[in-house]
Structure 1
Amino acid sequence: MSTLAPEQLVATQKAGFETTFGLLTKALVGTEKLVELNAQAVKSTLAESQEILAKAFATKDPQELFALQASQMQPAAEKVQSYWRHVYEIISSTQAEFASTAEAQFKQQQHDAQTFVDSLAKNAPAGSEAVLSAWKSALATASEAASSAYRAAQEATKQVVDIAENNVNAASASSTRSTKRAIEQVEAVEKK
């Protein structure tokens, strides 16, 4: 039988629901940010495409058309890089909020478990010291194992985030180099 009063059980359930709905809200906020980013990207791409197409129709010779095309390569690559940086920032901040909530929940559950064992110890009948000692030892072992697992999960998450960030940076650098080479090739053809 639990030593928690009905009010404590209700409070625990309420806190669980609040945490769940808080996480859902954070997930929706992150999704909204991604949707807004995508809507902005589509709008700006359409407007820029219309402008470039109008300029393309206004060109008088193929050289101008090639020059127009070359002039658009670098800005296009930069916009793609910027887009993916924003995606990364949104996902990273959402993940950080989830991690913060998970850490708070983890600490609260450890505290609740310790409080439960302490409550049992206060209300235990005489002669149950050995059982209580075993409970405390088991709780300490489980708490340490859970803490180790949590730290390992945090480190693994940090490594994944670092790898993703490095991949975004490497892709950006590679894209910039490729775009510059393409522009140089087009400019070299134009000079001939």
Structure 2
Amino acid sequence: MLTPEQLLAAQKANMEALHDLTTKAFESVERLVELNMTATKAMLDESAAHAQALLGARDMQELLALQASVFQPLAEKTAAYSRHLYDIAAGASAEFGKAVEAKVAESQTQLSNLVENTAQNAPAGSETAVAMMKSAVAAANNAYESVQKAVKQASTVAEANFNAVTANAANLAKSGSKKR
């Protein structure tokens, strides 16, 4: 049985973990707001400068050239914004993943200790039941580790795909502007 001190210690540890996760979430939101504010300010400044340039165009050809010159930087800035957004999301996800892994490892240790204590205090003749319980715990731990590895591999593949798409979009924007 758990003692009141053990319950209080577990509750305190859970509250600290929740506080840490909440702090990390707010930090990620702050970074996202900062990114959006910076992007919005830059967009407003560039829009005003572009509008001034359009108003100063002397003929239709210059007007069309000014309009065409907007697209390559826009594609590059969109790719950069997406990269920053992805970095913020990936960082937050990694922090939450670490916290979950730590809690799962702690729970696995506690469960293993419980099984060992139960095995030591089990009545004679219950060795088979204890062995089955240990086997079930080991199987659950192995299944969790397999899922964890698969998720990490999928995350790596997703990041590589995101990088490839971003690079491809930037290359298409550059090659599209050269054709003009």
- 2:161 equivalent to 1:166: yes
State whether residues 112 and 137 of structure 2, in contact with CA within 8 Å, keep that contact through their aligned partners in structure 1.
no
Change (3 A) 1:153 1:64: same
- Return the alpha-carbon distance in structure 2 between the equivalents of residues 27 and 178 of structure 1: 34
* Alignment check: 8 A CA contact 1:92 1:161 kept: no
Q: TM-score, normalised by structure 2?
A: 0.85
Which aligned pairs between 1:95-106 and structure 2 lie closer than 5 A?
Answer: 95-106=93-104
- Residues 17, 147 of structure 1: CA spacing in aligned structure 2 closer, same or farther, 3 A cutoff? farther
Given that 1:23 and 1:98 are in contact with CA atoms closer than 8 Å, whether structure 2 keeps it comes out as yes
**Identity fraction in percent:** 31
For the 8 Å contact 1:110–1:143, the answer to whether it is kept is no
1:94 deviates by 1.1
1:129 CA displacement: 3.9
Matches within 5 A, 1:19-168: 19-121=17-119, 124=121, 128-131=123-126, 134-135=129-130, 137-168=132-163
Distance 1:132 1:35 in 2: 59
Gaps of 5+ in 2: none
| 1:161 to partner: Cα distance | 4.8
Q: 1:151 to 1:24 in 2, by over 3 A?
A: farther
User: CA separation in 1, counterparts of 2:94 and 2:65?
Assistant: 44
The alpha-carbon distance between structure 1 residues 84 and 49, as it changes in their structure 2 partners (threshold 3 A), is same
Task: Verify the 8 A CA contact 2:54 2:63 in the aligned structure 1.
Answer: yes
Give the partner amino acid of 1:99: G
Using the size of structure 1 for normalisation, the TM-score is 0.80
CA distance in 2 between partners of 1:86 and 1:137 (Å)? 49
RMSD of the TM alignment (CA)? 2.4
* Ranges in structure 1 where 5+ consecutive residues have no aligned partner: 188-192
- 1:55 deviates by 1.0
- How big is the shift at 1:44? 0.6
Cα distance change of structure 1 residues 18 and 63 upon mapping to structure 2, 3 Å threshold: same
Distance 2:63 2:16 in 1: 59
Separation in 2, partners of 1:83, 1:100: 26
Secondary structure of the residue that 1:60 maps to in structure 2? coil
Shift of the 45–94 alpha-carbon distance from structure 1 to 2, 3 Å rule, reads same
Query: Does the CA contact (< 8 Å) of 1:78 and 1:176 recur in 2?
Result: no
Deviations, residues 29-63 of structure 1 (Å, cap 9, x unaligned) = 22221121111111110011111111111111122
Task: Report the CA distance between 1:135 and its aligned residue.
Answer: 3.4
CA distance in 1, matches of 2:124, 2:110: 21
Distance 1:130 1:101 in 2: 40
Distance in 2 between the 1:108 and 1:81 partners?
Answer: 40
Q: Deviations over 1:127-177 (max 9, x none)?
A: 714436633541342233233234314423531452254135314413531
